[in-house]
């Protein structure tokens, strides 16, 4: 059963419950046994209706009865009943062709993204530092997603953890990403890796590697040297394996993986010729890395960084 309240009262009940017990969004979602982003973005903004179970829990938490505000009690499948059996939405493939841009987005999601499916809800989320990655997420990743899918991701900031989230709820987007090799759920438990189709083209590989390093990579100066190494971190075995295969196919010489217990393992590009090759053939789109990459000197030429 779905509970429909007068306009504005669904949000009011959620906020009243949250403030009454001084709860975080995460804690309130745990009490209600629902996903935090579903609570914060869908229910709180009245994009979907309460289930009767969630409604009763919120009334109990807020110590207030909102029955006076109920305008309808609807069957869980009321939308289908209203529109008939033909109204059941089938998945739609939003992208038909492979491309370097799609490969880059897949690298971004493999790095700092997540796909989850639960109880009929489908979400894709990408997260980064609310300050250091802000320009990258809002002015590069979001437009990239828009060009590929024709849809806009919404964004919000976590007040305490200094994280910026890009998110979208879409069954079609999740279906399309699965079609191109991504999985929903915990990336480490699923032991994800670079999808096989990306190895069909060096253009695809370069895009995917850029997405991975722009998100889960780093650029750090080395003590005693006048340039910086390019690092990549991962705690996922298959992603490490496919990352190394991709770099080998692209002609890069890297370090061996430094495997750490209970921490993300890492690999790096440390020689000047390889760093030069990376800048010239792959480059960065995340300016936080460009800003940390010290000028390189090759045959008297200073700074080969392309800031396109």
Q: Which of 29, 228, 198, 58 is nearest to 118 (CA)?
A: 29
- Collapsing DSSP states into helix, strand and coil, what is residue 198? helix
CA distance 57 to 18: 12
Q: Which residue has the tokens 């987005």?
A: 105
Q: What's the chain's length in residues?
A: 308
Counting Cα atoms < 13 Å in the Cβ hemisphere of 38 gives 20
Burial category of 71 from C-beta neighbours within 10 Å (exposed 0-12, middle 13-18, buried 19 and up): exposed
Which of 160, 191, 222 is where one domain is finished? Answer: 191
Q: Is residue 133 part of a domain?
A: yes
Q: Are residues 236 and 173 in the same domain?
A: no
Q: What is the mean pLDDT of the chain?
A: 86
Q: Are residues 146 and 235 in the same domain?
A: no
pTM given for the model: 0.72
The torsion angle over the Cα atoms of residues 132, 137, 138 and 141, rounded to 10 degrees, is 150
Which of 40, 65, 87 is where one domain is finished? Answer: 87
Q: Are residues 204 and 297 in the same domain?
A: yes
Q: Are residues 224 and 285 in the same domain?
A: yes
Q: Is residue 92 part of a domain?
A: no
Burial category of 59 from C-beta neighbours within 10 Å (exposed 0-12, middle 13-18, buried 19 and up): middle
Q: Are residues 153 and 215 in the same domain?
A: no
Where does the pLDDT of residue 296 fall: very low under 50, low under 70, confident under 90, or very high at 90 and above?
Answer: low
Which of 43, 58, 87 is where one domain is finished? Answer: 87
Q: What's residue 73's pLDDT?
A: 81
- Is the pLDDT at 224 greater than 70? The verdict is no
Q: Is residue 285 part of a domain?
A: yes
Q: What's residue 145's pLDDT?
A: 97
- Is the pLDDT at 189 greater than 90? The verdict is yes
CATH of the domain at 109: 3.10.28.10
Number of domains in the chain: 3
Q: Are residues 297 and 206 in the same domain?
A: yes
Q: Is residue 94 part of a domain?
A: no
Cite the beta strand spans of the chain per DSSP E: 2-5, 50-51, 70-74, 113-118, 121-129, 154-158, 163-169, 217-221, 228-234, 265-269, 297-298, 301-302
- Is the pLDDT at 175 greater than 90? The verdict is yes
- Is the pLDDT at 77 greater than 70? The verdict is no
CATH of the domain at 45: 1.10.260.40
Instruction: Report, as an integer, the average pLDDT of 59-85.
Output: 71
Q: What's the token pair of residue 127?
A: 């997260």
Q: Is residue 162 part of a domain?
A: yes
Cα–Cα–Cα angle for 29, 31, 35, nearest 5°?
A: 25
Q: Is residue 11 part of a domain?
A: yes
Q: Is residue 149 part of a domain?
A: yes
- Is the pLDDT at 299 greater than 80? The verdict is no
CA distance 95 to 272: 38
Q: Are residues 180 and 236 in the same domain?
A: no
Among 27-31, 52-56, 117-121, 249-253, where is mean pLDDT lowest?
A: 117-121
Instruction: Report, as an integer, the average pLDDT of 178-194.
Output: 95
Report CA Rg, the chain.
23
Q: Are residues 121 and 139 in the same domain?
A: yes
CA distance 31 to 38: 14
* Segments forming the whole domain that contains residue 144: 100-191
- Collapsing DSSP states into helix, strand and coil, what is residue 155? strand
Q: Are residues 214 and 296 in the same domain?
A: yes
Q: Are residues 185 and 204 in the same domain?
A: no
| Residue 152: partners with Cβ closer than 8 Å, 6 or more residues away | 142, 145, 146, 168
Q: Is residue 51 part of a domain?
A: yes
Q: What's residue 301's pLDDT?
A: 34
| pLDDT, greater one: 254 or 3 | 254
Where does the pLDDT of residue 306 fall: very low under 50, low under 70, confident under 90, or very high at 90 and above?
Answer: very low
């Amino acid at each position: 059963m779905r509970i429909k309240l007068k306009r504005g009262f669904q949000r009011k009940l959620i906020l009243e419950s949250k403030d009454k017990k001084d709860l975080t969004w995460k804690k309130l979602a745990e009490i209600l046994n629902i996903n935090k982003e579903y609570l914060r973005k869908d229910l709180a903004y009245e994009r979907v209706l309460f289930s009767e179970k969630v409604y009763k829990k919120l009334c109990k938490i807020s110590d207030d009865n909102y029955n006076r505000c109920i305008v309808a009690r609807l069957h869980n499948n009321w939308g289908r009943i209203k529109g008939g059996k033909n109204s059941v939405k089938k998945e739609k493939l939003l992208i038909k062709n492979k491309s370097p841009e799609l490969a880059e987005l897949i690298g971004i999601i493999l790095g700092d993204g997540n796909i989850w499916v639960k109880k009929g809800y489908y979400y894709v989320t990408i997260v980064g530092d609310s300050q250091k990655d802000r320009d990258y997420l809002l002015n590069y990743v979001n437009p990239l997603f828009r060009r590929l899918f024709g849809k806009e991701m919404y964004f919000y900031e976590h007040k305490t953890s200094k994280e910026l989230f890009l998110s979208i709820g879409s069954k079609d987007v999740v279906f399309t990403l699965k079609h191109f090799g991504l999985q929903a759920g915990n990336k480490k438990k699923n032991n994800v890796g670079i999808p096989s189709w990306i190895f069909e083209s060096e253009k695809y590989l370069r895009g995917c590697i850029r997405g991975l390093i722009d998100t889960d990579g780093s650029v750090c100066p080395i003590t005693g040297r006048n340039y910086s190494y390019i690092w990549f971190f991962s705690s996922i075995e298959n992603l490490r394996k496919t990352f190394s295969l991709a770099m080998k196919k692209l002609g890069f010489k890297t370090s061996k993986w430094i495997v750490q217990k209970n921490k993300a393992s890492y690999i790096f590009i440390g020689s000047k010729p390889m760093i030069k090759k990376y800048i010239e053939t792959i480059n960065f789109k995340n300016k936080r890395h460009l800003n940390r990459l010290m000028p390189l000197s090759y045959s008297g030429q200073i700074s080969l960084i392309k800031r396109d």
